[in-house]
């Protein structure tokens, strides 16, 4: 879900099913980041959530 504000976008990742135990994390991103995520999401046919998770895994070396 993306909520447009004057200076940034707030992206929240919601649980798909009650079975999932992964926590939900919300953060604020600039419009440029959101646009890049949306473009990459379409190109790679992956969700924005998946892209962010993979980027964080790489950054955190996990």
pLDDT digits (tens, 9 = 90+) for 24-52: 889 899 999 999 999 999 999 999 999 99
Task: Count the helices and strands in the chain (H runs, E runs).
Answer: 2, 3
- More confident site: 7 or 56: 56
What's the predicted TM-score (pTM) here?
0.65
Average pLDDT, stretch 7-32? Answer: 74
Cβ atoms of 41 and 33 within 8 Å: the answer is: no
State pLDDT tens for residues 49-61: 999 999 999 999 9
- More confident site: 16 or 51: 51
Query: CA 5 to CA 24: how far, in whole Å?
Result: 21
């Amino acid at each position: 879900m993306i909520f447009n504000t004057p200076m940034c976008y707030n992206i929240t990742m919601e649980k798909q099913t009650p079975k999932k135990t992964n926590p939900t994390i919300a953060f604020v991103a600039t419009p440029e980041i959101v646009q890049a995520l949306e473009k990459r999401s379409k190109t790679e046919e992956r969700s924005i959530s998946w892209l962010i998770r993979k980027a964080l895994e790489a950054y955190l070396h996990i």
